[in-house]
């Protein structure tokens, strides 16, 4: 195993050296540029893909790109159709292609190997090649924690400590650290809370997401949250007279009486910077992890459905996050088996968070 790891490190170093020596991309004139997008969902899903598409539109406007310079394929499943969508965008002349799903990464990796003259940037995932393929994501756990505070205060107000969570998957680190952060935020303001997680086993399943929400409501959950792509769970809460924390975008319009807030993304800054680098010929295959301090992640405006005092409580912690004095995963933190995962006073590093597979104590799977 050590030999394998050593070889991997040497290979990574060689790739880095070969990149710096010879693999820089030539500048692309603005009028010649075409930017492609491959989306897992519909651009009108009011969630994950919607947030990505709005960022792409904002990027095109900020950089003065014409309408026909931004191309996209939406509702693309993570199967051979993803490979076909990527190939189509290459053939249509895109010099840069963004793909917005964790499940796309193997297809993007293959496309990057087949088309070394094209730059590929995949949202989330674990793959990159140090040449023409990087990944980008953010410290969404910061906004998750704040959203959890809002949920916990609402749960305390209504006297129901049983929280529900619709998850895309229950065994992917991105989902695990997100729901853990949300729970820790809720627990900080309402120590009695518990969290039940219902997995959909898909990143994008409108019917499954709504059904999972309805199942959690049937279990007695009073406030729901989600790590899935559509507004189905908040709409289910709207219909049942309960409360919800959304994800990806401000979903208040879909559930005006239920919606509390949502961890949200603003991908536009990353996209603007990346596209500008491609035009200038300065792009490098460096993975990107942004956070609240640089505007990549944030919290949707708290609505009037929130419990009294929520704004003040959330703002106090958010200010500490922005200053760097508050870390979400600071011990002591125990897992569901009672094992101490984070020591008293210690804080997990980004890499430890990004590889998290354990659930906090008082979290259960439905």
Show pLDDT as tens, one digit a residue, over the chain (366 residues): 333 333 333 334 344 433 443 458 999 999 999 999 999 999 998 889 999 999 999 999 999 999 999 999 999 999 999 999 999 999 999 999 999 999 999 999 999 999 999 999 999 988 999 999 999 999 999 999 999 999 999 999 999 999 999 999 999 999 999 999 999 999 999 999 999 999 999 988 999 999 999 999 999 999 999 999 899 999 999 999 999 999 998 999 999 999 999 999 999 999 999 999 999 999 999 999 999 988 999 999 999 999 999 999 999 999 999 999 999 999 999 999 999 999 999 999 999 999 999 999 999 999
CA-based R_g, the chain, Å? 21
- Token look-up 């499940």 returns 103
Reading the block at residue 196, the tokens are 């039940």
Could you give the angle at which helices 268-280 and 48-63 cross, rounded to 10 degrees? 40
Confidence (pTM): 0.88
Measured between alpha carbons, how far is 71 from 97 in angstroms, rounded to an integer?
9
Could you give the angle at which helices 140-158 and 173-189 cross, rounded to 10 degrees? 40
pLDDT of residue 23: 54
Q: Is 30 left (phi over 0), alpha (psi -120 to 50) or beta?
A: alpha
pLDDT of residue 232: 94
Give the list of residues 6+ apart from residue 325 with CB closer than 8 angstroms, or none: none
Backbone angles phi, psi at 72, to 5 degrees: -145, 155
- Token look-up 């239920």 returns 258
Q: Cβ(117)–Cβ(139) under 8 Å? A: no
pLDDT of residue 8: 36
pLDDT of residue 46: 84
């Amino acid at each position: 195993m050590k030999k394998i790891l050593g070889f991997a490190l040497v290979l990574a170093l060689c790739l880095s050296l070969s990149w710096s020596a010879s693999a820089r991309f030539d500048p692309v004139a603005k009028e010649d540029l075409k930017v492609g997008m491959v989306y897992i969902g519909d651009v009108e899903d009011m969630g994950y893909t919607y947030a990505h598409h709005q960022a792409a539109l904002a990027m095109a406007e900020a950089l003065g790109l014409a309408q026909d310079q931004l191309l996209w394929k939406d509702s693309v499943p993570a199967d051979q159709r993803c490979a076909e969508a990527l190939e189509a965008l290459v053939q249509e002349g895109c010099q840069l292609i963004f793909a917005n799903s964790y499940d796309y990464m193997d297809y993007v990796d293959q496309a990057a190997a087949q088309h070394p003259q094209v730059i590929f940037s995949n949202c989330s995932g674990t793959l990159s090649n140090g040449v023409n393929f990087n990944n980008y994501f953010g410290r969404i756990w910061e906004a998750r924690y704040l959203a959890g505070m809002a949920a916990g205060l609402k749960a305390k107000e209504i006297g129901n400590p049983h929280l529900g969570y619709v998850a895309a998957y229950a065994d992917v680190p991105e989902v695990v650290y997100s729901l853990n952060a949300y729970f820790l935020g809720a627990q900080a303001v309402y120590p009695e809370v518990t969290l039940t997680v219902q997995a959909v086993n898909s990143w994008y399943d409108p019917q499954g997401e709504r059904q999972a929400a309805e199942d959690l409501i049937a279990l007695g959950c009073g406030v729901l949250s989600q790590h899935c792509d559509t507004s189905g769970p908040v709409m289910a809460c709207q219909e049942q007279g309960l409360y919800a924390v959304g994800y990806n975008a401000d979903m208040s319009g879909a559930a005006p009486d239920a919606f509390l807030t949502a961890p949200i993304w603003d991908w536009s800054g990353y996209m603007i910077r990346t596209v500008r680098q491609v035009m200038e010929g300065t792009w490098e295959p460096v993975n990107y992890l942004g956070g609240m301090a640089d505007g990549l992640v944030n919290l949707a405006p708290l609505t009037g459905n929130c419990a009294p005092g929520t704004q003040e409580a959330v703002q106090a912690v958010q200010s500490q996050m922005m200053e760097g004095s508050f870390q979400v995963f600071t011990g002591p933190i125990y897992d569901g088996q009672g094992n101490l995962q984070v020591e008293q006073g210690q804080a997990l590093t980004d890499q430890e968070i990004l590889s998290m597979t354990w659930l906090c104590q008082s979290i259960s799977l439905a």
